[in-house]
Amino acid sequence: MVSVSEVKKLSWGRGEVQLVDVRTASEYATGHVPGAINIPIEQIEGRLDDLSPHSPIVLICQSGRRAGLTAGLLEPLRADVTVLDGGTSAWVSAGFPVVVNAKTRWALERQVRLIAGLLVVIGAVLALKVNPHWAYLAGFVGLGLTFAGLTDICLMASLLCRMPWNRSRRVSPAATSAQGQTCSLRNVSSAGGDGETMLS
């Protein structure tokens, strides 16, 4: 484990360390440590060439749990891997800035879990109160989740991607960086205030 204060002092811009955010792309977009690249945990073993062979690796997630699991996957391959203690949450709580690529929204996985859970609860309640056949709704959701786990194809996630709140938003040309990517540097204090400036 490495603390947020230690990571803040490191000069990753000079290649002394490589920061790797192992959260999903949508989580990464809502706020990540400056300089961190995004390699989701499920992709890490297939993207080893994206890891710097000459710099120590610091793994980051929201709280540190997924980064710890990723470190376990990389441990047999290299010994210079560590985890940011407390993850992005600890970074934000310390008052350090995060880079925001999109307006804050729930991660797609969280949306799927919420809707799937609601459908199961609704199906169970209606089966008990209205008609036993409503139990098939809960069974259908379970079947869909099983299919998603076996095939890595989630039909509910595909549908949610098309919802208005998950679509990219238009931005003015002034809010576009030199690479053509919308980014902002948000300094979020633990008190909840934030000041936002656009990266140039």
Active site residues: 61
End-to-end Cα separation, the chain, in angstroms: 33
Give backbone dihedrals phi and psi of 65, rounded to 5 degrees, phi first. -70, -50
Rounded distance between C-alpha atoms, residue 122 and residue 51, angstroms: 45
Give backbone dihedrals phi and psi of 95, rounded to 5 degrees, phi first. 85, 15
- Residues 6 or more apart whose CB falls under 8 angstroms from that of 172 comprise none
Rounded distance between C-alpha atoms, residue 74 and residue 81, angstroms: 7
97, β-bridge pairs: 187
